[in-house]
Amino acid sequence: MKKKILIHSIVFSPDGVSTAYLYNDIALKFVDSDYEVLVLTTTPHYNVLENELVKQPMTSKWGGIYYESKYHNIRVIHVPQKKFKSFFLRSLGFLYWHFLSFILGLMEKDISLILSPSPPLTIGVLNIIIGKMKGAKVIYNVQEIYPDFLINQGSLKFGPLVSLLKRMEQFVYNKSDGVTTIDSVFYKTIAPRFKDPSKLHIIPNFVDTALFRPVLPEDLQLNSTFFPEKDNVLKIMYAGNIGHAQDWEPLIFIAKKLLDFKIEFWVIGEGVMKDYLENEIKVNNLPNIHLVPYQKRELMPSLISYADIHFIFMSPQMEGQGFPSKVYTIMACAKPLLVISGAKTPIYNFLKSADCAFLIAGASFDEKCEEIVDLLKKISLDNSHMKELGNNGYQLIENKYSKNAVTKQYVALADQILEG
């Protein structure tokens, strides 16, 4: 009989976000490794893509209490969820998802293993309870460190709740059969929180190198209204969620300083900080920043290849608790990066020896921004070094961070834990 794995994640296909894409590929690798795979997730609500909904239609069950779909013949159970503006409604939806996914998980038979990513931390608690009741092993994947992320963001200040979440975190780490995290900085941060650190494993994230690859200028498939030909302009891009994890003030500062130079910026995507950014562009009269709506994932290789360099300015409050997956996709397309982040953060640790990025750490806000202004002026005059940096990143991805190389590490860990 096949071993049965339950992947329990707040996002999965047809939702169009990075963690969903990550777990889509992990699920397929388990299928290829002769596992029976079941996915328990939500209805798409982070990044709803109509074309994906058509390809993966959901069927109502129990009068719409939940839905089911098929992803490459993998059965996917969806608990209804929406992005309400009201905190009260969001909280109710969150509780509903936990309650119903717990019931639906218990209804499944012959589960051997449960795998889930953070956030949220509470999903780990549910899975441990389900695992105990079903006799299944549990692997918890730390994509972001909670509650540290919320505390450093400033959205969690209530002392008793902080204490509760920290106890919950230790419970999840110590009661899971295995815990994975994505890099050595995360590992060193959370290892002291384990009674048995041997449970903790590093499995990095990865990129689909069949999709993300260098694209020649003549093969770009882009809307010329948003992305016109500008061969004499240094093109700098950010493509992804426009949220709190990024620091947007340096972009405004730098763009002001470079108004008279042939240097332009593209910011592509959606998010809670988009209105702020749009207003700053307008108030400061910055025609050198182009704000572009979300573009389909299939266009990302062309988007990445359109730019000369990609910027990621990490928020000082949250730079230590997350790792942007776009780093891998940029490198896979053989493009260099420009990064602001502290010297003891996951992104800095990953890139410092890769020789594919300009890393700006330490110093004051003004000093960091002035350093970038000077750097971009030099690159606009001579960008011959850019191709070498891009190729360095490309080779690293091909050798160590491809989809096949990393997903099989999840299968190997699952086999190891199940074999005991």
For 288-342, what is each residue's pLDDT tens digit? 999 999 898 889 999 999 999 999 999 988 787 778 889 999 999 999 999 999 9
Rounded to the nearest angstrom, the gap between the alpha carbon of residue 305 and the centroid of all alpha carbons in its chain is 20
The predicted pLDDT at position 226 comes to 93
CB 215 within 8 A of CB 300: no
Q: pLDDT-based confidence at 165, cuts 50/70/90?
A: confident
For the chain, percent of residues with pLDDT exceeding 70: 98
Pick the closest to residue 44 from 35, 26, 56 (CA basis). Answer: 56
Does 197 have pLDDT greater than 70? yes
Q: Is 312 exposed, middle or buried (0-12, 13-18, 19+ CB in 10 A)?
A: buried
Does 178 have pLDDT greater than 90? yes
Per-residue pLDDT, averaged over 189-194, amounts to 94
Model confidence over 42-101: pLDDT tens digits?
999 887 878 888 999 999 999 999 999 999 999 999 999 987 778 788 888 889 999 999
Model confidence over 379-403: pLDDT tens digits?
999 988 999 999 999 999 998 998 9
Any idea which residue has 């009741």 for tokens?
133
CB 121 within 8 A of CB 165: yes
Q: pLDDT-based confidence at 278, cuts 50/70/90?
A: very high
The predicted pLDDT at position 246 comes to 93
Where exactly are the structural domains of the chain? 3-206+402-419, 217-400
Q: Starting at the edge strand that comes first in sequence, how are the strands of the sheet with 357-360 ordered?
A: 289-292, 263-268, 234-239, 309-313, 337-340, 357-360
3-206+402-419 shares its CATH topology with 217-400: yes
254 — phi, psi (to 5°)? -65, -40
CA-CA distances (angstroms) from residue 109 to 4, 36, 135, 202, 209? 9, 12, 10, 30, 36
Token pair, residue 82, equals 């929406």
The predicted pLDDT at position 320 comes to 77
The predicted pLDDT at position 24 comes to 96
Pairing label, strands 3-8, 113-117: parallel
Element (H, E) at 312: strand 309-313
The predicted pLDDT at position 297 comes to 87
The predicted pLDDT at position 221 comes to 86
Pick the closest to residue 220 from 278, 139, 137, 306 (CA basis). Answer: 306
The predicted pLDDT at position 135 comes to 96
Model confidence over 252-266: pLDDT tens digits?
999 999 999 999 999
Rounded CA gap, 123 and 104, in Å? 14
In this structure, which topology does domain 3-206+402-419 adopt according to CATH?
A: Rossmann fold (3.40.50)
Does 156 have pLDDT greater than 70? no
Pairing label, strands 178-181, 35-42: unpaired
CATH code for the domain defined by 217-400? 3.40.50.2000
The predicted pLDDT at position 160 comes to 81
The predicted pLDDT at position 300 comes to 93
Pairing label, strands 3-8, 35-42: parallel
Per-residue pLDDT, averaged over 138-165, amounts to 79
| Four-point Cα dihedral 190, 193, 198, 204, nearest 10 | -20
